[in-house]
Amino acid sequence: MMQEVKNTANTVILVSTGTVCGRRSRQTAQSELYARALSRFGAAAVLDGGYGSEETLAERADALVLSGGGDIHPAYYGKQLTGMDTSVDQQRDEREWELLRVFCARRKPVLGICRGIQVIDVFFGGTLFQHLATAHVHENTIHTVVTAQDGWLRPLLGESFPVNSYHHQAIRTLGAGLHVTAVSDADGVIEAVEHERLPVWAVQWHPERMVHGLCRDTDAEMKALFCDFLARIPEKTEK
């Protein structure tokens, strides 16, 4: 199959990762679908190993993808663990917080996916529902989202479309500077945001699992979302 490639001139995207406990050491783990989706549209994905200078990574990478995963430790938004929190990884929390800080400081594009939208919201001062009353709508299901008329998604994906859903937490109060750009048709849960001043966008679903020829959780196609994100990365200049 021929890939549809955008000329992104050696664009490198840093993708955040989770960690798992191996027999002899902690291991970095992430779905290959993030890298495959970005590669399909012309960019190279590099997985963050969890160590080393965040400043150096932000200097050398062109953009950041905050990927999906477990729950953020609720201490980040003034709450305590409830016992319903899943796969809390404080090392990952700290790492993604710093990565987001340095990429925003350099005004480099950031795309949050699933857990990523929650990290972004909390980073800007928002809070989360620790367990949705309507979690059955969002845990391992397909449901419809409706896009905001004036948001970034409406021109790309239309007014409504089906998305995959793998979460039990969600944005409760918006962080400073964030605007809602899509909500769940079933219960109004926030499904996408964008920042009013910074190049930061995020969705609650998994677009890397909605690319034709790669993975199709739903009939909706996320090519336009990825291509739009890559198009927002400034062109590299000769040094």
The catalytic residues are: 114, 206, 208
Identify the residue whose tokens are 């992430």.
30
Identify the residue whose tokens are 């409406």.
154
Identify the residue whose tokens are 């009013």.
196
Q: Give the pairing type, strands 210-211 and 110-113.
A: unpaired
Burial per residue of 188-207, b for 16 or more beta-carbon CB atoms within 10 angstroms, e otherwise: ebbbbbbbeebbbbbbbbbb
Residue 165 contacts by C-beta under 8 Å, 6 or more apart in sequence? 137, 138, 139, 140, 141, 142, 143, 204, 205
